[in-house]
Amino acid sequence: MILLSRAEETVLLAILGLGENAYGVTILEYIRDKTGIEWSLTQTYDPLKKLVKKGFAVKIKGEPTPERGGRAKTLYKLTKSGRAVLVEIRFVQDSLWAAVPKTLLAQ
Amino acid sequence: MIGYSGRPHALPPECGTRLLQRILPEHERAEIMGDLEERYQAKVYENNKAAARVWYWIHIVRLLAFLAKEHFYWSFIMWENNLIAAWRHIKKNLAYTGLNVLGLAVGMAVFIVIMLFVRTEISYDRYHANAPNIYRVIQENPGNIYLGSNLFALTPGPMAPAMVRDFPEVRTAMRINKSTEVLLRVAETNVIVKAIHWADPQIFEIFSFPLIRGDKATALKDPYSILFSEREARRLFGGDDPIGRTIIYRAGEQSHSFTVTGVFRDIPANSHFTMDVVAPFETMGKIQKRDLAQWGGGNSFYTYVLLKDGADPKALDAKLPAFIDKYRTDQQAHRRQKGHYFLQSLAQIHLSSRVNFELSPTGDARFVLLFASIAILVLIIACVNYMNLATAQSLKRAKEIGLRKVVGADRGQLVRQFLGDSMLLTFIALVLAVGIVLTVLPVFRSFVEREIAFNPLRDPALISGLVLLAAIVGAVAGSYPAFFVSAFHPITSLKGTGASKSKGRGLRNGLIVFQFAASIALIICTVAVRSQLRFIRNMDMGYERGQIVVLSPRGGMRTNLEAFRTELRRNPSVLDVAMSSDLPDRVGSTTKASWPGKPESVEIKMYVLDADYDFVDLFGLKLARGRNFSRDFLSDANGAFLINESAAKAIGWEDPIGREFGRWGNLKVAGKIVGVIKDFHMHSVHLPIMPLCIFLDPTRGDNVSVKIRGENIPATLAYLRKTWEKFAPEYPFEYNFFDEVFDRAYRSEQRLGTIFSLFAGLAVLIACLGLIGLASFTAEQKTKEVGIRKVLGASSAGIMALFSKEFIRWVVLANLVAWPVGYCAMRTWLQQFAYRTSLTVPMFLGAGLSTLLLAAAVISVQTCRAASANPADSLRNE
């Protein structure tokens, strides 16, 4: 099993959820909207870098927009192994949750 | 997702953008700045502009922290990697590294030791709180050259109080004088103290001599008060409280009783005078019956003034002639005194003064300068040595460098890497150097007779100085190798062809020439200094020095001179006894000669020596004409003179025998000239022989010279001691051998000789270390060439000759550079001696040849191994 940090896993899930429009600001907003936790930009760059390095995501140069002062977006896209690792994590989590007896869960 | 299109674009703070533009790496710049700006828009419309700005700045700070962390992390990784590479290189080439570090350590140790000395020398008297405003009044006496200088530290007694009275810019002033070898009586026991200093009470106001006991305002107010230094108080009173104790001061037949009023802290060693006992200046006048208010004669006190802040000493100098004229009304004294007074700043006294009658011996700026230049030279040689070895060694790392370049290292990184290497080695060398300094410092301390402190842990200035030294040496020594290495072409260096191996050879050879030229020049200096020393020692001074014991009579000996002498002569081992005012190697007093018929305008300054009948014979002075003083001629007792040839020549007398002659510029102290003695060196050979007259005065007992038999000297000395104790039991027996006294006068030259030998030796050592490294490196590089040559029939000797030739050529060239340099330096140095040895060709050839031989020996040991290797081994693996 390949280990991902919580932050990496979160960011990777955000990229997955954002589809074609995953870059710094949208990732940030996605995480804020879905979890209610506001990250800072720098907090997203570190996991992003690591994900790229580990080969779970790739950088693609996007279109420049006026809000960005005419600068190009750097879009992130999930790779095959990135998708696989998310599936694997989810599988592990689900099986572990499923194994917990109902009585214990209720507490 | 919230869209913002259609709203006016809000620009984030401009300086923030510019800052980001600067610090962000190019490949991330667009992403991060774009994201930030987009978020900024959102913040502006969600909240307000101010909040957005705060948010923006917070992010910049966070980014900075993030980037810094990244940067340090990676540079640490790189640094660690460089360190590992350096360490592997060191481990693989332990011998070379050892040579290199040793060379650097020796060079740095020499530099540190000498700079500690220089620091001590320039620290003199600077600890006084008032130091910048303290001046000493001295006089220049044109035409009155005494022992090579016409400056005198002496001033008239009333000068100090009159200056305070007349000049508003003078805050206060004081006089001081000293009596040496004083007998004190402390609680019924006699003690000799080296000196009493008689000083005005202002001494504690002008100088920073803190009192441990007593009050500095009142300590010297009472005429019979006396103060001791801490160490002297401990010696005299042990643990007892000295305050209020009575001290009896014995001057001749009289006794004076003083009361201890204070104890001052020991005077630091870096002071131009030291004192252990102080008593009021005015009291000295009373005890010695001297008129301290006289402007004319008795010019024998030291005057120090403390100026007000901002006062101009030059302006005060200009006022002094009129000031002197106002007070000095005695016409004769006035006419006689051609000199003028001026102020000498306290800081100048120790190094830049060549003033007669200093309170304590001072240092010599030329000596310090010479020392410092040698130190720098040795340090440069060590640096050059490092460059040489490191450059040669770096060829071995060509592959590593090539690979680094291929992988993407830029030139700056390689320069930093190699500078780092040299820094690492320099700091190892520094630790070693500090160890060397700690071991040699005690020897050096006694050698230069200075208290040199070396305590890096307690001296932050010193420690930062040492670190700075290592950093500079590391940077200088490492700079060339670093730039040399970083310029390697990656392809050639990786291919491992010999193409790059001849690189930098020109400069390496130039460095060898420099190193050896400097070493040879130092050797030439050594030889010349030693030859001059030998010349002095073997020079015919015109008097004898062997087996003469010199005593300075005290107490009962002085009052019963004749009896003392008779008692001494009673021993068969005592051959002769003579009394005189001075010893023949240091005649101190001068007089103005006079004779009947002397024209007013002619003035001849003569050194004068008072001696008894036996002086000339005992010291073996030769007579050119006439006869010695003789007890057989009763007329001699009424006044008789001997003059030297220079004196006869100066006056212009063909035959001076029988002429009337007088001293002190008049004929009151006069007599007939009975003989002319051949010129002898009555001063050090720095000075030419001057006119001299010897006056017959059998009662002068300043020096008693005893000529003894060469056998059984301890027994004779025991007899002298017994006789001494019979006459003056309260004084400890002290004696000197005249030849030792004589040698001591040339101490600074001997010191110079030793220093030159030592440093020349060290320079040669470092140069040879470099040569060993280079020769063995070349030998290693050429193993294949040697193999092929041997296969083709070359002999081992032939190969050694081939290798040696290359280095020897440069050493020969170094000679050609060193000879003129050494010649010029030594000719200048010898000029200060009135009598000097000549610089001969063998000195130069000897220095050159010995270096050459040493270099040849070093090289052949290194190449021998390569030359005698079996060619099969060296050619086997390709």
CATH number at residue A37: 1.10.10.10
Asked if B34 reaches chain A (Cβ–Cβ under 8 Å), the answer is: yes
Do B351 and B121 meet the contact criterion of CB atoms below 8 Å apart? yes
Do B703 and B671 meet the contact criterion of CB atoms below 8 Å apart? no
φ and ψ at B605, to 5 degrees?
-85, 130
SS3 B55: helix
Beta strands per DSSP E along B289-364: 302-307, 340-345
Query: H or E element: which one contains B271?
Result: none
Mutate to test the interface with A, among B38, B63, B70 (most CBs of A within 10 A): B38
Cross-chain CB nearest to B41 (options A29, A46, A67): A67
Do B668 and B724 meet the contact criterion of CB atoms below 8 Å apart? no
Distance from CA of A63 to the nearest CA of B (A): 11
Mutate to test the interface with B, among A21, A50, A61, A68 (most CBs of B within 10 A): A68
* Residue B757 to residue B751: CA distance in whole angstroms: 10
Comparing CA positions, the residue from B341, B353, B347 lying closest to residue B167 is B341
Count the alpha carbons within 13 Å of A28 in the hemisphere toward its beta carbon: 20
Which residues have CB under 8 Å from B142's CB, separation 6+? Answer: B150, B338, B339
pLDDT at residue number B207: 92
Residue with tokens 């000031």: B323
Rg (Cα) of chain A, in Å, rounded?
Answer: 16
Do B125 and B206 meet the contact criterion of CB atoms below 8 Å apart? no
Length in residues, chain A: 107
Count the alpha carbons within 13 Å of B350 in the hemisphere toward its beta carbon: 19
Asked if B2 reaches chain A (Cβ–Cβ under 8 Å), the answer is: yes
pLDDT at residue number B264: 93
Cross-chain CB nearest to B38 (options A21, A42, A67): A67
- Residues of chain A in contact with residue B36, where contact means CB-CB under 8 angstroms, are 41
Q: How many other CB atoms sit within 10 Å of the CB of residue B16?
A: 17
* Residue B213 to residue B210: CA distance in whole angstroms: 9
> Per the domain annotation, does A35 fall within a domain?
yes
> Per the domain annotation, does A23 fall within a domain?
yes
Q: Tell me the pLDDT tens digit for each residue of A38-73.
A: 888 888 888 888 889 888 999 888 888 877 877 888
Instruction: Scan residues 4-33 of A and list those with Cβ closer than 8 Å to B.
Output: 21, 23-26, 28-29
pLDDT at residue number B500: 47
Paired sense of beta strands B189-199 and B225-229, if any: unpaired
pLDDT at residue number B333: 54
> Per the domain annotation, does A37 fall within a domain?
yes
Question: What's the average pLDDT block by block, 10 residues per block, for chain B (878 residues)?
Answer: 58 83 80 84 83 86 82 80 82 84 91 91 90 91 77 86 92 91 84 90 91 88 92 88 88 84 91 91 86 73 92 90 79 59 89 79 81 87 85 78 83 84 90 93 84 84 91 88 80 62 70 85 86 82 88 83 89 90 85 79 84 90 89 84 89 84 69 89 84 87 89 90 88 88 80 80 81 76 81 84 81 90 88 83 87 83 77 72
> Per the domain annotation, does A64 fall within a domain?
yes
Which residues have CB under 8 Å from B420's CB, separation 6+? Answer: B79, B82, B83, B86
Asked if A40 reaches chain B (Cβ–Cβ under 8 Å), the answer is: yes
List the end-to-end C-alpha distance of chain A, in Å, as a whole number: 30
Find, in chain B, the residue whose alpha carbon is nearest to that of A67: B38
Q: Do A41 and B32 touch (CB under 8 A)?
A: yes
Q: Tell me the pLDDT tens digit for each residue of B206-265.
A: 999 999 988 888 889 899 999 999 999 998 888 888 898 899 988 777 889 999 999 999
pLDDT at residue number B497: 53
CA B290 to chain CA centroid, Å, is 39
Query: H or E element: which one contains B345?
Result: strand B340-345
Q: Do A42 and B38 touch (CB under 8 A)?
A: no
> Per the domain annotation, does A106 fall within a domain?
no
Find, in chain B, the residue whose alpha carbon is nearest to that of A46: B66
Which residues have CB under 8 Å from B577's CB, separation 6+? Answer: B565, B568, B569, B614, B618, B704, B705, B706, B707
Distance from CA of A57 to the nearest CA of B (A): 16
pLDDT at residue number B410: 81
Do B296 and B324 meet the contact criterion of CB atoms below 8 Å apart? no
Query: H or E element: which one contains B732?
Result: none
Do B278 and B175 meet the contact criterion of CB atoms below 8 Å apart? no
B144 burial level (CB within 10 Å; 0-12, 13-18, 19+): middle
Residue ranges of alpha helices (H) inside B487-623 are: 490-495, 505-538, 556-559, 561-569, 615-618
- Residues of chain A in contact with residue B35, where contact means CB-CB under 8 angstroms, are 23-25, 28, 41, 68
> Per the domain annotation, does A103 fall within a domain?
no
Range of the domain at A34: 6-98
The DSSP bridge partners found for residue B670 are B662
Asked if B780 reaches chain A (Cβ–Cβ under 8 Å), the answer is: no
Cross-chain CB nearest to A24 (options B2, B4, B35): B35
Comparing CA positions, the residue from B586, B579, B618, B608 lying closest to residue B695 is B608
Q: Do A68 and B9 touch (CB under 8 A)?
A: no
Query: H or E element: which one contains A26?
Result: helix A24-35
Q: What's B708's DSSP letter?
A: E
> Per the domain annotation, does A48 fall within a domain?
yes
- Residues of chain B in contact with residue A66, where contact means CB-CB under 8 angstroms, are 5, 9
> Per the domain annotation, does A60 fall within a domain?
yes
Tell me what ipTM this predicted complex has.
0.77
Comparing CA positions, the residue from B706, B709, B767 lying closest to residue B736 is B706
Length in residues, chain B: 878
Instruction: Scan residues 82-101 of A and list those with Cβ closer than 8 Å to B.
Output: none
DSSP string, B222-264: STTEEEEEHHHHHHHHTTS--TT-EEEEEETTEEEEEEEEEEE
Number of structural domains found in chain A = 1
List the end-to-end C-alpha distance of chain B, in Å, as a whole number: 69
Asked if B409 reaches chain A (Cβ–Cβ under 8 Å), the answer is: no
Mutate to test the interface with B, among A26, A30, A41 (most CBs of B within 10 A): A41
Q: Do A67 and B9 touch (CB under 8 A)?
A: yes
Asked if B31 reaches chain A (Cβ–Cβ under 8 Å), the answer is: yes
Instruction: Scan residues 57-76 of A and list those with Cβ closer than 8 Å to B.
Output: 64-69, 71-74
pLDDT at residue number A54: 87
Rg (Cα) of chain B, in Å, rounded?
Answer: 38
A-to-B residue pairs, Cβ atoms closer than 8 angstroms: 64
CA B233 to chain CA centroid, Å, is 32
Q: Do B35 and A29 touch (CB under 8 A)?
A: no
pLDDT at residue number A25: 87
Q: What's B670's DSSP letter?
A: E
Find, in chain A, the residue whose alpha carbon is nearest to that of B34: A68
CA distances from B677 to A71, B606, B618 (A): 106, 15, 14
Do B578 and B705 meet the contact criterion of CB atoms below 8 Å apart? yes
Do B394 and B484 meet the contact criterion of CB atoms below 8 Å apart? yes
Distance from CA of B52 to the nearest CA of A (A): 13
Which residues have CB under 8 Å from B244's CB, separation 6+? Answer: B259, B260
Q: Do B32 and A45 touch (CB under 8 A)?
A: yes
B104 burial level (CB within 10 Å; 0-12, 13-18, 19+): buried
